[in-house]
Chain A
């Protein structure tokens, strides 16, 4: 390897290379020095081909940092053991409440809806719909002042399993009533606001029309 070749390699690879290192490179590839102009052109063209960075780059990075800082502060401030304990307790209370409500719904949650069907004269008549969910029952009836306490059988709802209903036209007034499950179990309407003692240790529900 002559001095000229050595200098060519040094020019491109840099002054950091010792003579021994350059000789080693030459030994591995004697053509490398000749290829330097082409390689240089190649690198320059590649550098020139670089597209511009978008002008919003800095603001985008800063926005991302601000977001990250916000969540980090949120994390430090709110995700403490104390807060987690409170959140857990609230969640448990919520689940319990939901479960209790659900249980109630699954059990006995009757309801009454009504609409006026005649408005003529002094006496109004309402179409009252009694609904009860009683999945375990074989028969469900409703009895009250409006039907002289003669139980009227409710029909099972075709689309909802365990739900029974009946519509009865009733004149305006205030009435007590109860549901009768399987012919012998009298229960009040637990969704109603007002109940009254039936004089036999049980309770009747009050409906005002």
Chain B
């Protein structure tokens, strides 16, 4: 129980225990506690509100189904991010299959014709542009950058959620940023 020694974590464990007994009111509290963060993580990955809401719903449904297997060995939030990450990965794979990867392999994203960030005025355009460039990164870097900067997770949490060694997580985040900078021509 070393990982759950704060009062908040203890209270959360108690909530989860009640959820495991089938108490939906407790589960509603869990949803309310994490829904914004989960939705935010997914939205920044997916970029479409409805799809993101559907995926967030899927995450909580999956969570509810799997809750009986949760023994508290890992931090609950880490476990939740893991489920979210898997949902996003599945969605991403499906999307890639559908697109046949043509959109990001034709060089249009990483090419010199891309506008510099200073030229992008609208926040919406910026978000779309960033999402596209991120999507063009190798998945391991893409995921690491998302989790660190959009999921606001610590390196340790990412390591736990992805099962990747801590030092590798750090280098993945750094290399993801390097590639992002180069593709967006920032600081050139």
User: How many of chain A's residues touch chain B, expressed as a range?
Assistant: 35 or more
A92 cross-chain contacts in B, Cβ below 8 A: none
A2 at the interface (CB under 8 A from B): no
Name the contact of A58 in the complex, choosing from B31, B64, B173 (C-beta under 8 A): B31
Q: Does B87 contact A (CB under 8 A)?
A: no
* B127 contacts chain A at the CB level, 8 A cutoff: yes
Contact check, A46 vs B181: say whether CB atoms are below 8 A apart.
Answer: no
Choose the segment among A35-43, A152-160, A194-202 that binds chain B (4+ C-beta atoms closer than 8 Å).
A35-43
Query: Does A14 contact B40, Cβ atoms closer than 8 Å?
Result: no
With A16-B170, A21-B167 as contacts: A31 and B187 at CB distance below 8 Å? yes
B36 at the interface (CB under 8 A from A): yes
Distance between A63 CB and nearest chain B CB, rounded to angstroms? 10
What's the minimum C-beta distance from A116 to chain B, rounded to whole angstroms? 67
Complex: chain B residue closest to A69, CB-CB: B22
Is B137 engaged at the interface, CB distance under 8 Å to the other chain? no
A71 to chain B, nearest CB (A): 12
Binds B, one of A48-56, A74-82, A162-170, A174-182: A48-56
A47 lies within 8 A of B117 (CB): no
- By beta carbon, the residue of chain B nearest A16 is B155
Partner of B57, one of A33, A34, A42, A61: A61
Q: A47 to B171: give the CA distance in the assembly, Å.
A: 23
B182, chain A: closest CB distance, angstroms? 7
Query: Does B91 reach chain A (CB closer than 8 Å)?
Result: no
With A46-B131, A53-B36 as contacts: A41 and B117 at CB distance below 8 Å: yes
Which residues of A sit under 8 angstroms from B13, Cβ to Cβ? none
Given contacts A32-B177, A45-B127, contact A53 B187 (CB under 8 A): no
Give the nearest-CB partner of B178 in chain A: A29
Is B140 interfacial (CB 8 A cutoff)? no
Interface contact A46-B40, CB-CB below 8 Å: no
With known contacts A21-B167, A58-B28, A58-B32, A39–B177 Cβ distance under 8 A: yes
A31/B188 contact (C-beta < 8 A), A43-B149, A45-B123, A61-B31 known = yes
Chain A, residues 21-32, CB within 8 Å of chain B (1/0): the string is: 100110011011
A41 to B117, alpha carbons, bound, how many Å?
Answer: 9
Contact at B117–A51, with CB atoms within 8 Å? no
On whether A47 and B44 interact (CB within 8 A), knowing A13-B174, A35-B186, the answer reads yes
Q: 17 A–B contact pairs at CB < 8 A? A: A17-B174, A28-B174, A29-B182, A34-B187, A36-B187, A43-B150, A45-B127, A46-B127, A47-B150, A49-B127, A53-B36, A58-B31, A58-B35, A60-B57, A61-B31, A61-B57, A66-B24
Apart from the given pairs A25-B174, A36-B187, 19 other A-B contacts in the complex at a CB distance below 8 Å: A14-B155, A16-B154, A16-B155, A21-B170, A21-B171, A24-B171, A25-B171, A28-B175, A31-B187, A33-B187, A38-B118, A42-B184, A46-B126, A46-B130, A47-B40, A53-B36, A54-B53, A57-B35, A64-B57
Q: Which residues of B does A touch, CB under 8 Å? A: 24, 27-28, 31-32, 35-36, 39-40, 43-44, 49, 53, 56-57, 60-61, 64-65, 117-118, 123-124, 126-127, 130-131, 149-150, 154-156, 166-167, 170-171, 173-175, 177-178, 180-182, 184, 186-188
